[in-house]
Structure 1
Amino acid sequence: MTVSKRRTSPFNRLQDWYRSPLGRKVAGAESECVRRLLNQTFGYYLVQLGPTEIFREALDSSRIRHRVMLPPEQPSGQSGLEIVGLESQLPLASDSIDAILLPHTLDFADDPQAVLREVERVLIPDGRVIIVGFNAFSAWGLWGLLLSVTGRMPWCGRFRMPSQVEAWLADAGFAIEFCERILFCPPLRSAQGARCAPIESLGRRFWPVLSGGYVIRAVKRVATLTPLKPSWNRRHALLPGNAVRPTTRGRSHV
């Protein structure tokens, strides 16, 4: 099944950026975090939107063996089921997917809340969504403000604060299970490598809100309603003969 897109997706350019030196560092940190979160996620179908190459090893280690890829525009021809479709109009049945991975999908979506509503629609009750994004309140967010006019990837995206994404998830019917902060080093080539390890460790401990990236796992909430039989309370007539009888009322409780 293939659904063509009407516009060029930014995820093609994002996938190319992941091959750069800085992109490879980001991919390693994000993939390791996604791998840990998926290791605790079970089910039958796992769907990934956006770049399909970067998180392939993390998905291969998942306990969910049936994986569906939604590549940026055209099927990559790699092994596995691939479907092309819009992020805000997923070509998937309602209540059919156990887990969904959104790597920077909300950073580049025209309507991120519409994407989350679609995710909620296709997930089964208690299904999980894992969101990877760049934090607007960080050095990475500052770089995004300065370089957004250049149109360069990934700075051309619209970064969000994790608290904003968590609020959107709550509105869409999700409960937050976990939020991990990553990428505390500034996005400079000179700041990468072994010298960045102490900064990452200190950042997680002392200033987690300033992380350059975040990974959120949330679960689709289910409201369990158990209908009970109506309880009818019959009332006796207050007056004999043809006097008007009181109406019989009942209450139903859920």
Structure 2
Amino acid sequence: MWWDSGAGRLLLDRARDILPRWIERLQPETVLQLGQPLFWGMPPGTERTWVLLNDGAALPPEAYLQVCGACPDMPFAPMRFDLVIVPFCLSRMGDPEAVLDECWRVLRPEGHVLIMDFNPGGSLSFMRRWRLWRRDRAWPWRRPFLPLGKLRTLLENQDFILKEGRYFQYTLPGLEKNAQWMELVGDRWWPAGANAYLLLAQRRDPERPLVGLATPVKLRRERRKVSSEAPAAYDHSELG
């Protein structure tokens, strides 16, 4: 698996450092993570309900509540989660808009989606091109990485309000620990050269406008209204 390589471990280590602080600020009661990678053997915050949408990889059953399914068609009832974490999933999806539409559907009003993905301007993007040019079949990232500007547009079209974001992980693949100094200067001098970015967005509901919103957000005409009394998508006892 690519996440076991040197470049994959560097990116995972940096993500593990960043994610807990963002999650603690949001204080979600129910969290959904889409697919891989798995950041922790046991998710932080035992008082929370953590669900993993397992799209094919086997994981220890005691670590997460696992549900098998596809990201563009999630097997959950509407308004089920406070936070959806999307870790490096959109770059391998054929229809990222459908995935974001499902994130909006399963989030509770004013819930959040936290997206981590590869930056097309980073060194991993150049590595992707090199591996594809060499026809390396072991390289997992075949699709072009999703630019941050395009992701912002997709989120706004899906009735999300952008809250904040950041670039992270500047260390070049192959240098590993010998280039940790790049993490210290990257944010200040070379933010667009990061290998990854993180973006936080909040679900906006037409019936419950957020306080302080200065400009109207384009609403999707075809989105159906969903009831806040929707039943839970699963029973804990059935997940065993």
TM over 0.5: same fold? yes
- Sort the Cα spacing of 1:50 and 1:22 in 2 relative to 1 into closer, same or farther, 3 A: same
Q: Distance in 2 between matches of 1:163 and 1:54?
A: 26
Alignment deviations for residues 14-71 of structure 1 (CA, whole Å, 9 cap, x no partner): xx222223222111101221112111122321001112632445x3147x61011112
Q: Is the aligned partner of 1:218 residue 2:201? A: yes
* Structure 2 letter corresponding to 1:85: G
| Aligned residue among 71, 83, 107 for 1:123 | 107
Report 1:61-100 matches (<5 A).
61=45, 65-73=48-56, 75-79=58-62, 80-100=64-84
- Sort the Cα spacing of 1:176 and 1:56 in 2 relative to 1 into closer, same or farther, 3 A: farther
Q: Distance in 1 between matches of 2:14 and 2:143?
A: 19
Between Structure 1 and Structure 2, whose CA radius of gyration is higher?
1
Match of 1:143 in 2: 127
| Aligned residue among 167, 178, 181 for 2:164 | 178
Which 5+ residue runs of structure 1 have no aligned equivalent? Answer: 1-15, 227-254
- Sort the Cα spacing of 1:151 and 1:165 in 2 relative to 1 into closer, same or farther, 3 A: farther
- Pick 1 or 2: higher relative contact order, CA cutoff 8 A, min separation 6: 2
Which 5+ residue runs of structure 2 have no aligned equivalent? Answer: 210-240
Q: Distance in 2 between matches of 1:56 and 1:178?
A: 28
Alignment deviations for residues 184-207 of structure 1 (CA, whole Å, 9 cap, x no partner): 1222x2x110x3222122211012
Alignment deviations for residues 112-137 of structure 1 (CA, whole Å, 9 cap, x no partner): 11100110111111111111111112
Match of 2:38 in 1: 53
> How large is the RMSD of aligned CA atoms in angstroms?
2.1
Aligned residue for 1:83, secondary structure, equals: strand
TM-score (norm 2): 0.78
* Structure 2 letter corresponding to 1:171: N
| Aligned residue among 134, 138, 148 for 2:118 | 134
Match of 1:207 in 2: 190
Which 4+ runs in 1 deviate beyond 4 A? Answer: none
| Aligned residue among 114, 130, 140 for 2:98 | 114
Offset of 1:172 from its aligned partner? 0.8
Q: Distance in 1 between matches of 2:136 and 2:120?
A: 18
Alignment deviations for residues 136-156 of structure 1 (CA, whole Å, 9 cap, x no partner): 122221211221342333443
Match of 2:142 in 1: 156
Q: Percent identity?
A: 23
Match of 2:180 in 1: 197
Preserved contact between residue 99 and residue 123 of structure 1 (Cα < 8 Å): yes
Aligned residue for 1:22, secondary structure, equals: helix
